[in-house]
Structure 1
């Protein structure tokens, strides 16, 4: 990148910080009055899309035109699909249990607590994670094998996330599945296909910004931070802590990979299983995960149960 491009990127970072703040201010105007802070999840995808669009406008004449449009487009596809899905899922529903748990820490007004903690933190995270979306649009190098690898990871991630969300929504729409675990499709190889999809998306976007070693170094924080959030922060860890005591979920955890898709582990055969099988009262003690169903309580989280 040239000196002019770096100067442009520096200015861009300031403008996009204001853009993220504007999106969150709109969210603050909508969410607390309704008592539904889960609306902040919808704003997450919208804010990334806004950052990409603003950067595309500001980087005109500095970055590679094709790459600018491409990075903006793939960010918008991911962000708007996610926002639409979460808005549809939240429509008419109660507060997300994860936010309920977070707001129990409030010593006074819950909305004021959220305004002091939840929304400022989300703004900072969006701005930091979006670094590749911004830097990639100021880089002039033509597409390389690294860029193509990044696009492939992005495509795989969006597909994985969208298919996982579709399978879960279809499963929940059938009343016969109430209280049962979704253990087929992508949910048979990972307990969190949506989070794993996000993981691929952001490592893919990071690679599109690796045209120079300087931008690669600048943006490395983004996929590392997203990986932490998904696996140790507000994603997988918090959701599974919320669901840990639900009947049957421990069996699902024992059989299915927690993040990276892997073949389901075989369930150990116990003496009780052998006794049940010999009496003809079960479908088989060594049944694979796809044929095993376990009762569990409902969840409004982004997880594999209804």
Structure 2
């Protein structure tokens, strides 16, 4: 079944690549990435019968809801943009006449990343009932609390930023209210927090390898796809206004701002 999901991810990414080729809006890759994981999670929780029913329901509902909400949020942002995301506009310019094959390879690579970040759920769903310890119920409660806090935090952060950007009077200003008063990237922080739920739950089935995922997500957000580009674009668009925000506000972990 795992390879069937890989093929399904590739098919969805290729369809998205065709759409991006015609409308020159590569940002759809982010939407498809989250949706691929959501589909993988829901299908696997439904069809794989190895794990206890409670684990299947937990992952199908909690993880499925997380990635479905993320794909909806990214779709709303994608549809609301009038120009191509600056990240992908820069990529398009850099690739020049090779942009079509370049973006094709990029979309295929994103299908692989979707598979990589689906693996924690896959490993948990394939742990048979005899592998789960007597601590499963307690650890499931802890993992559920982590997921709930992360879900609520990211929904609030995303909605606060969305409403801020919808107000034309805020053009050129920095969002520094609500959760954004305590962290410059609260959405990324709660995304990172979410990934602690899987290794916590994995303790009950001796899936210790899952502790790689919070570290992996931190590396991606902190050094690769998240914070560096967001900070660069914010400084370019808002200049001193954003520099002042940087000086008083934590970059990642929420804490009281400096006076």
Query: TM-score, normalised to structure 2's length?
Result: 0.90
1:206 Cα offset (Å)? 3.4
Please tell me whether residue 47 in structure 1 is matched to residue 36 in structure 2. Answer: yes
Query: Which sections of structure 1, spanning at least 5 residues, go unmatched?
Result: 1-11, 267-306
Contact 1:72 1:133 in 2 (8 A): no
Question: Aligned in 2, Cα 1:22/1:69: closer, same or farther, shift over 3 Å?
Answer: farther
> SS state of the match for residue 103, structure 1?
helix
Higher helix share: 2
CA distance in 1, matches of 2:115, 2:213: 9
Over residues 227-271 of structure 1, what are the superposed CA-to-partner deviations in whole Å (9 max), with x where a residue is unaligned?
2111111111121122223321111111111111011012xxxxx
What is the correspondence of 1:22-171 to structure 2 with a 5 Å cutoff?
A: 22-60=11-49, 62-93=50-81, 94-116=83-105, 118-139=106-127, 140=129, 141=132, 143-171=136-164
Question: Aligned in 2, Cα 1:92/1:177: closer, same or farther, shift over 3 Å?
Answer: closer
Question: Aligned in 2, Cα 1:176/1:130: closer, same or farther, shift over 3 Å?
Answer: same
Query: Which sections of structure 2, spanning at least 5 residues, go unmatched?
Result: none
Question: Aligned in 2, Cα 1:223/1:16: closer, same or farther, shift over 3 Å?
Answer: farther
CA distance in 2, matches of 1:222, 1:20: 20
Please tell me whether residue 187 in structure 1 is matched to residue 180 in structure 2. Answer: yes
CA distance in 1, matches of 2:69, 2:52: 26
- Which is worse superposed, 98-107 or 257-266? 98-107
Q: Which has the larger Rg?
A: 1
Aligned residues: 251
Contact 2:14 2:104 in 1 (8 A): no
